[in-house]
């Protein structure tokens, strides 16, 4: 028997410590929280994907009374990015949220399991690490890759 230890590197930074490119991505994700359709949970999430062609593609969560027919912000942005820029590859994603009171969450939130798996697929397609930025009001977490969020991800058979 062999024990494996999986270590996830996470940088906790302030907004001013981000690069200009990362600040633009966080700003886009934060802006999308205001475009969310979340009448049931009242929890608004925004995501912004940076593509290698320089485009930033955004998305927000979209709820539906026929739960779970809605979709998360991360998948909205990811699917839109690939549908409209099929030859571009992901380089980074930022995620932000507002709580039920409408305030930006103090601490960063992390993608759900389904979104992690979808993002892992796009990271694999990119053939490189895709930076993940999780933005809260008080802290911003920067992870070097989607693999950091889902280290034992299911990937296609080769």
Give the model confidence (pLDDT) of 114-141 as tens digits: 999 999 999 999 999 999 999 999 899 9
Q: What is the pTM of this model?
A: 0.95
Q: Are 134 and 13 in contact (CB under 8 A)?
A: no
What's the distance, CA 43 to chain centroid? 15
Per DSSP, the three-state class of 79 is helix
Neighbours of 31 (CB within 10 A): 14
Out of 63, 74, 121, 123, the active site residue is 74
* pLDDT tier for residue 156 given thresholds of 50, 70 and 90: low
What was the pLDDT predicted at 158?
52
Task: Check residue 67 and give its pLDDT.
Answer: 82
Residues 5-41 have pLDDT tens digits of 999 999 999 999 999 999 999 999 999 999 999 999 9
Of residues 127, 122, 131, 33, the one with CA closest to residue 91: 131
Catalytic, 74? Answer yes
pLDDT band at 81 (very low <50, low <70, confident <90, very high): very high
Phi/psi at 132 (5° precision): -120, 125
Q: What is the DSSP string of 101-122?
A: TSSBPSS-----HHHHHHHHHH
Number of H helices and E strands in the chain, helices first, is 3, 6
Q: How far is CA 26 from the centre of its chain?
A: 10
Confidence band, pLDDT 50/70/90 cuts, at residue 154: confident
């Amino acid at each position: 028997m062999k024990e494996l230890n999986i270590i996830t590197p996470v940088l906790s930074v302030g907004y001013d410590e981000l690069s200009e490119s990362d600040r633009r991505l966080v700003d886009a994700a934060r802006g999308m929280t205001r475009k969310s359709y979340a009448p049931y949970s009242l929890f608004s999430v925004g995501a912004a994907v940076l593509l290698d062609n320089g485009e930033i593609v955004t998305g927000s969560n979209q709820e539906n009374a026929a739960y779970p027919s809605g979709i998360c912000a991360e998948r909205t942005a990811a699917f839109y990015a690939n549908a409209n820029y099929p030859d571009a590859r992901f380089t980074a994603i930022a995620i932000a949220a507002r709580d039920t009171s409408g305030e930006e969450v103090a601490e960063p939130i992390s993608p759900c399991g389904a979104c992690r798996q979808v993002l892992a697929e796009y990271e694999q397609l990119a053939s490189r690490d895709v930076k993940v930025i999780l933005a809260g009001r008080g802290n911003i977490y920067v992870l070097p890759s989607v693999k950091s969020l889902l280290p034992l991800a299911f990937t296609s058979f080769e």
